Amino acid sequence: MSVQIWTYLFVGASFSLYLGIAWWSRVRTTQGFYVAGRGVPAAANGMATAADWMSAASFISMAGLVSTMGYAGGVYLMGWTGGFVLLALLLAPYLRKFGHYTVPDFMGDRYESKLVRLVAIICALFVSFTYVAGQMRGVGVVFSRFLEVDVNIGVIIGMVIVFIYATLGGMKGITWTQVAQYWVLITAFLVPAIAISIKLTGTGIPQLGLGSDLQGTAVSLLSRLDGIQQEFGFGPYTEPFIGQWDKVNVFFVALALMVGTAGLPHVIVRFYTVKSPKAARWSGFWALFFISLLYLTAPAISGFARFYMLDSLNGAKEQDLPDWFKSWEQTGLILWFDDGDGTVRYTGNSDNEIFRAGALTGPELAKIARQHQQWIDTDGAKGVNARPLMNEMGLNGPDRDIIVLATPEMAELSNWIIAFMAAGGLAAALSTASGLLLVISSSVAHDLYFKIMNPKATEKQRLLVGRGTIGVAVVIAGLFGIYPPGFVGQVVAFAFGFAAASFFPVIVLGIFWKRVGTIPALCGMVAGLGITAFYVISVVFFDMPQWTLGLTDQGIDPQGFGTVGMFVNLAVTIGLTPLFPAPSEKVQALIDQVREPEGWSPPINIDESAEH
């Protein structure tokens, strides 16, 4: 069977499974809608957390980043994995013991302020919408290639599926759907990695295959890859701290990703769905185990993909181009502008002929292609050489989001494996998108509508507002997916920066320093998020020069500026704390109780507390 038929089978079967689970687990209470009734077993919550956290960025983009950046791409592996350890060990059990529904819920009650709750809601919405944009774009990329539909149509299909199962089952439906999605995505990731490792090196363990010799030679894969990279004008694949990725930027980006992970509201809320703080700790353990299966394999598949990409394209004649290239070329995610000799060159120099469409529209791209063809036909007398033009626009090289999805095709694996990879990519994107949409829904329906606007709202009214919010959020997320501000990995990295600058410092200080009051926390969040948003938006959209802060000649990468925002937040909060009143005795007693060892006091059930 063809790849397309296999894709229809896998995607149809997996979507039917997700919708069936949503129907089976539909809920009629707010506790079921927001925290799955707090009855999810620790191991299942670990799988759901892993699926929630391993988004399109982890499945599709991360290996693409490592593949094109080489050693420097490891910053994403270190940052995201380290952040989850930080969250599981430092924050999750305490947050669970507070017993709230959402992060703004915790912030509002801990700092005794509706204004803090409102600012936390704005931060949660800002982070979640930035993050979900990357997921919806990932869905569109997968659909466009494997079902041969327009990227925008793919985004709309994904919106419909997520809307149905998120509104039916709320957190309960999303949790059990994510358990199924975890097994789809991890199997889809591991099977091609193992098959390619055997094919290239004869080793069935990808991590060992990356360091092994190529089949039938005495040359290691990494040595060969380093050689090819330098031969075609790229830096050595295994050399650290090259170009803009100096030590300062690696540190800033890794730390922003790390503390940003610990502040992501859709990951934190998963720890509210288990029965006790002890179950929250076990959830963290299981989630780390399940996540490690993909993250420890990603460097291997990145290296395999880079080897195939450079080896199969350079020197190929037009009539000999591999099928995978022709398939992906139709999506605009990889393009070839020949210099007239009919031979492909994919290099890091000015003679590079491989590009991507990026944000160019169809008519704009068609115009560039026509002018380039005229330039070739007239030997440069008329028309425009597209290659310098594309280089000026920063569109050299293929789109990084196709690397993982195209790798099974590059390795000429069976059609069913190629199609299964597509189902895995969709599972990764949809699982995270649904979690984010629920955070958006709970921020509006629970924290804004119920806790601020209408405290007397009935259960039915709250559920109606929650489901309606998901509908609106899906439409906005889809628009972000159709008009994305960057490729998937970068968009998601910005979300981590915003979370690092806003939530992380005040959550940590809120748990471990009971002297911190309302005004310092509020000022810290506004200052951290404000300076980070200003820098990211100014640099990315208005070409503002990157600040060096006297630390690096390269300038601070926008992806790493969340670290600066976090330190600003900490400095403002800590600096103002002695100048303003401490929290009430009731809140200080609550913090002491939360920090007591398990067994000394039960977790607080927010539904049974006086405020509810």
Cα 36 from Cα 307, distance rounded (Å): 45
Residues 516, 186: contact at Cβ < 8 Å?
no
Of 195-209, 316-330, 443-457, 482-496, which gets the smallest average pLDDT?
A: 482-496
Instruction: For the chain, give every domain's residue range.
Output: 3-309+405-606, 331-399
Q: What percentage of the chain reaches a pLDDT higher than 70?
A: 93
Q: Which residue has 């327009």 as its token pair?
A: 150
Q: What percentage of the chain reaches a pLDDT higher than 90?
A: 15
Which value, in Å, is the radius of gyration of the alpha carbons in the chain? 25
Is the pLDDT confidence value at 606 over 50?
no
Q: How confident is the model at residue 473 (pLDDT cuts 50, 70, 90)?
A: confident
In 395-487, where does DSSP find H-type helix?
403-410, 415-442, 459-482
Residues 401, 138: contact at Cβ < 8 Å?
yes
Residues 493, 253: contact at Cβ < 8 Å?
yes
Residue 133: Cβ-neighbour burial (10 angstroms; 0-12, 13-18, 19+): buried
- How many CB atoms are located within 10 Å of the residue 568 CB? 19
pLDDT for res 612? 38
Is the pLDDT confidence value at 161 over 50?
yes
pLDDT for res 37? 67
Residues 170, 101: contact at Cβ < 8 Å?
no
pLDDT for res 580? 93
Mean pLDDT of 258-265: 77
Is the pLDDT confidence value at 115 over 60?
yes
- How many CB atoms are located within 10 Å of the residue 315 CB? 11
The pair of three-digit structure tokens given for residue 414, joined into one six-digit string: 């069976």
With vertex at residue 423, the alpha carbon angle to CA 422 and CA 428, rounded to the nearest 5 degrees, is 100
The pair of three-digit structure tokens given for residue 232, joined into one six-digit string: 């075609």
Question: Which is more confidently placed, 390 or 276?
Answer: 390
Q: How confident is the model at residue 568 (pLDDT cuts 50, 70, 90)?
A: very high
Is the pLDDT confidence value at 605 over 60?
no
Q: Where are the beta strands (DSSP E) in 235-374?
A: 335-336, 354-355
Is the pLDDT confidence value at 530 over 60?
yes
pLDDT for res 490? 58
Any idea how long the chain is? 612
pLDDT for res 492? 64
pLDDT for res 600? 47
Mean pLDDT of 276-305: 87
Of 146-150, 361-365, 486-490, which gets the smallest average pLDDT?
A: 486-490
Q: What is the largest CA-CA distance in the chain?
A: 84
Mean pLDDT of 165-178: 79
pLDDT for res 583? 92
pLDDT for res 374? 92
Residues 123, 565: contact at Cβ < 8 Å?
no
Which among 56, 220, 544, 222 is positioned nearest to 230, based on CA atoms? 222
Which among 162, 142, 165, 163 is positioned nearest to 153, based on CA atoms? 142
Is the pLDDT confidence value at 145 over 70?
no
pLDDT for res 484? 66
Residues 473, 172: contact at Cβ < 8 Å?
no
Question: Which is more confidently placed, 131 or 47?
Answer: 47
Predicted model pTM: 0.81
- Assigned CATH class of 3-309+405-606: mainly alpha
Residues 426, 56: contact at Cβ < 8 Å?
no
* Tens-digit pLDDT profile for residues 418-460: 888 888 888 888 887 877 887 788 888 888 888 888 888 887 8
Mean pLDDT of 372-380: 90
